[in-house]
Structures are given as C-alpha cells and as structure tokens.
C-alpha cells in the first residue's frame, strides 16, 4: 500500500485482480497507470483501491491512456459493483470522485470477476441437479480451474 502524500489518499493493489501503478499524486490529483507486469505491450485493464484519509473530491487520471469508459469506472465500496456514472467521467483518461474521510473505494476498468465471485455463485446454486462441477485444468501456479456443465448430461449430438 502506498502511503498518503499531500493528496490524502492511499492506493492499494495487493488483492486478487489488483492492477495499477501509482505514478504521481499531489493537490487532489492521483495519476495511475495500468501495470503491465507480464506484457511487453500497453495494457488497458486496471483495478485499484483508494482510501481517502481526508474528505474531498479527487481527480484520478491515467495520463494519455484511454482507460475510462463512457459510464466512468466500475466502482465498489462493499461487495456490489456498479458504474460510477458519466457525470464523474472527465474524459477517456480521467474521472472525479468525492471521498468521505476514511472511505475505501475500489475502482476498475470494468467490474472484475474473480474466483471468490464464482465460488459465491456456485455455492448459491450447487443444489441444482443440472449443474455439474468439474476441473477444466490446473493453472501454471497449481490452482484448479473450475468447469461447470449445465444440463442433464443426456444430450446427444445429431
């Protein structure tokens, strides 16, 4: 987690799906960039949590990268994701958000869908006899990748 500077914000990306690099922050402005990590090309996807230590509006910008869609960024202050809205969008590379003191908000290019989201969905529907969970493969890091087959399993091709 990056310590707050004069902007009164902390930027965090150390969670599943977190992906952003803090470039600069000063006077109510935070400049981020998508973190390319394993790619040699520019990347559009970003996902960061921002905690405001002081209340006030902040400009979150991405330099010359067009990574803010027409509905603004996806936003989450709990479990549910939604679009921040076009009124928060400055242009394709920036948006504004008015923080409460101590408020932690996750922002992303689009609502992320992580393994925990899948597990919540599956747990809620596991009793459905038409859902059959299997393992599709094992990832390079040794995690199983789930596969869900839907149906009775008796279908035939013609």
Pick from 62, 10, 11: nearest CA to 32: 62
Query: Domains of the chain: which residue ranges?
Result: 9-108, 115-150
pLDDT in tens, 21-79: 999 988 889 999 988 877 788 888 999 999 999 999 999 999 888 999 999 999 998 88
* CATH code, residues 9-108: 2.60.40.3120
pLDDT in tens, 62-72: 988 899 999 99
pLDDT confidence tier of residue 6, bands split at 50, 70 and 90: low
String of DSSP letters for 32-64: EE---TT-SS-----EEEEEESS-EEEEEE-TT
H or E element that contains 145: strand 144-150
CA dihedral 78, 112, 56, 24 (to 10 degrees): 140
Q: Cβ–Cβ contacts within 10 Å for residue 148, how many?
A: 14
Query: Which residue is it, tokens 């059959």?
Result: 132
Longest dimension (CA), the chain: 67
């Amino acid at each position: 987690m990056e310590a707050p500077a004069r902007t009164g914000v902390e930027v965090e990306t150390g969670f599943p799906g977190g992906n952003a690099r803090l470039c600069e922050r000063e006077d109510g402005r935070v400049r981020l960039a998508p973190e390319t990590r394993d790619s040699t090309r520019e990347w559009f996807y970003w996902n960061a949590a921002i905690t405001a230590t002081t209340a006030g509006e902040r400009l979150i910008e991405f330099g010359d990268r067009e990574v803010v869609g027409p509905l603004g960024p996806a936003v989450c202050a709990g479990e549910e994701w939604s679009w921040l809205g076009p009124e928060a969008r400055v242009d394709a590379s920036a948006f504004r958000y008015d923080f409460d003191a101590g408020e932690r908000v996750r922002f992303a290019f689009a609502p992320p869908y992580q393994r925990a989201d899948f597990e919540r969905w599956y747990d809620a529907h596991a009793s459905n006899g038409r859902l059959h969970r299997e393992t599709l493969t094992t990832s390079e890091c040794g995690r199983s990748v789930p596969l869900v087959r839907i149906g009775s399993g008796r279908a035939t091709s013609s």
